[in-house]
Amino acid sequence: MSIRERLSGNEATAFAMKQINPDVVAAFPITPSTEIPQYFSTYVANGQVDTEFVAVEGEHSAMAACIGAEAAGGRAMTATSSQGLAYMWEMVQIASSSRLPIVMPLINRAISGPLNIHCDHTDAMASRDCGWIMLFSEDNQEAYDNMIMAHRIAEHKDVMLPLMVCQDGFITSHSIENIELIEDDIVKEFVGTYKPAHYLLNKKEPIAVGPMDLQPYLTEHKKQQAVAMENAKIVIKEVSEDFEKMTGRKYDFFEGYKLEDAEYVIVCMNSTAGTVKETIDKLRELGVKAGLLKIRMFRPFPGEEIAKALSNAKSVAVLDRVPLVSATGGPLYEDVVSGMFVEGINVPTINYTYGVGGRDVTVEQIEKVYADLQGLKDMKEPYRFLGLKSK
């Protein structure tokens, strides 16, 4: 029987970490993720977990400590946001290239400058090709559920890659919602015990972690990482199916909302999906066949599956919660249209930058996107901003 509770996204994430009871948590505070190690350190102090909590001097050290713990054979976790992820960027690359399945909640926040502590996805998108699996969470329930599934995915023998669980800073991380928690013993059984095949403290098998890797080998090792990321698609599907059997909550690579017969479709991630769903319900009453494709699994990117799901639409809008500074589309847009191109699907698809720095996203703004899609006659203006004050 599930446990009904009211928790913020950060509380739900920390509670999942408590239930998982990792060997090591190394962390440094940064808004809006600070509450996660704060709550978890309370569990440590109260003896509710036997985790070794390491209060480090910075995020670079936090990831370095997690790398050391994982390499030694332990299960390690941390949490961060924004500049914290940027500061640990060097170690983020080393974690994935060393095939260490660290799990890290990433509470999405704008990266400076100028200084801003509120939500957009700049931090995640800046690290999207660092070799980490990336799951996005619409609400507190999904953030909790993704955390429970994370180690089963990352530690699978065919994957062995680190994993980020993303949620929107303040919008979900600090907002309290009703949530269904799983009993501790069921979580423990579902997650299982981490038993790495190779680790530094195994005296029967001396190994090196992170050695020099020059021309004769690096390409092949990067290919192995790519294969592991492809394998993650299979594992994520299997773990999600097992999770559904356990809880009744269904997760896939993405969620379609009134997508089957939709003529005008928005593609987005995280909390914005809730606003889009409300707008769709309103437009459906007016006879507009609006739909949503909400991406949960961003890395590995399910390009083929997304392309097929969008193939019957008349027009599509991809919403990127990042500043558009490349003179082309945002990262989510580029991945979506690339997948469509490869599959030979030609649906007019436009891109919006929106919600940067935590700016509110309203039903009225989403209605404007659907209105634009209904009136889309050409692709002369594919890259747009949503909610600009000048507009």
pLDDT tens digits, 294-317: 999 999 999 999 999 999 999 999
- Residue 317: phi and psi, rounded to 5, are -120, 125
Percent of the chain surpassing pLDDT 70: 99
For the cut 80, the answer to whether the pLDDT of residue 37 exceeds it is: yes
CA distance 124 to 80: 11
pLDDT tens digits, 303-352: 999 999 999 999 999 999 999 888 899 999 999 999 999 999 999 999 99
Stretch 223-245: mean pLDDT: 98
Dihedral sign for Cα 95, 96, 97, 99, please.
positive
CA distance 302 to 77: 26
Stretch 180-203: mean pLDDT: 97
Same fold for the pair 3-247 and 254-385: yes
What is the CB neighbour count within 10 angstroms for residue 142? 26
Q: Give the residues across from 320 on adjacent strands.
A: 353
Q: Give the residues across from 299 on adjacent strands.
A: 134
Top CATH class, 254-385: alpha beta
Percent of the chain surpassing pLDDT 90: 96
What is the CB neighbour count within 10 angstroms for residue 121? 29
What pLDDT is stored for residue 327 in this prediction? 87
Stretch 223-237: mean pLDDT: 98
- Domain range list for the chain: 3-247, 254-385
> Per mean pLDDT, which range of 56-65, 172-181, 320-329 is the poorest?
320-329
Both structure tokens of 360: 């509110």
Q: Which residues contact 193 (CB under 8 A, 6 or more apart)?
A: none
Percent helix, strand and coil across the chain, each to the nearest 5 = 40, 20, 40
Dihedral sign for Cα 311, 312, 313, 319, please.
negative
Q: Give the residues across from 255 on adjacent strands.
A: 294
72 pLDDT band (50/70/90 cuts)?
A: very high
Q: Which spans in the chain are helix H?
A: 9-20, 35-45, 59-71, 82-87, 89-97, 122-126, 140-154, 184-191, 218-247, 272-285, 303-310, 331-342, 363-374
Q: How far is CA 287 from CA 263, 282, 319, 326, in A?
A: 11, 9, 23, 37
List the end-to-end C-alpha distance of the chain, in Å, as a whole number.
50
Q: How far is CA 5 from CA 2, 11, 12, 335, in A?
A: 10, 11, 9, 37
Q: Is 115 exposed, middle or buried (0-12, 13-18, 19+ CB in 10 A)?
A: exposed
Stretch 176-204: mean pLDDT: 97
Q: Which residues contact 27 (CB under 8 A, 6 or more apart)?
A: 36, 37, 40, 53, 54, 55, 56, 62, 78, 79, 80
Stretch 160-187: mean pLDDT: 98
> Per mean pLDDT, which range of 56-70, 270-284, 374-388 is the poorest?
374-388
Fold of the domain built from segment(s) 3-247: Rossmann fold (3.40.50)
What pLDDT is stored for residue 391 in this prediction? 53
390 pLDDT band (50/70/90 cuts)?
A: confident
Stretch 173-186: mean pLDDT: 98
What pLDDT is stored for residue 325 in this prediction? 85
Stretch 1-20: mean pLDDT: 95
For the cut 80, the answer to whether the pLDDT of residue 251 exceeds it is: yes
Angle at 139 between CA 138 and CA 143, to 5 degrees: 90
For the cut 60, the answer to whether the pLDDT of residue 42 exceeds it is: yes
Stretch 3-28: mean pLDDT: 98
3-state secondary structure of 54: strand
1 pLDDT band (50/70/90 cuts)?
A: low
Q: Count of residues for the chain?
A: 391
For the cut 60, the answer to whether the pLDDT of residue 99 exceeds it is: yes
What is the CB neighbour count within 10 angstroms for residue 38? 14
Q: How far is CA 86 from CA 106, 127, 338, in A?
A: 12, 8, 27
- Residue 176: phi and psi, rounded to 5, are -90, 130
Q: Which residues contact 375 (CB under 8 A, 6 or more apart)?
A: none
Closest CA to 367 of 271, 284, 296: 284
Q: Is 3 exposed, middle or buried (0-12, 13-18, 19+ CB in 10 A)?
A: exposed
What is the CB neighbour count within 10 angstroms for residue 202? 13
15 pLDDT band (50/70/90 cuts)?
A: very high
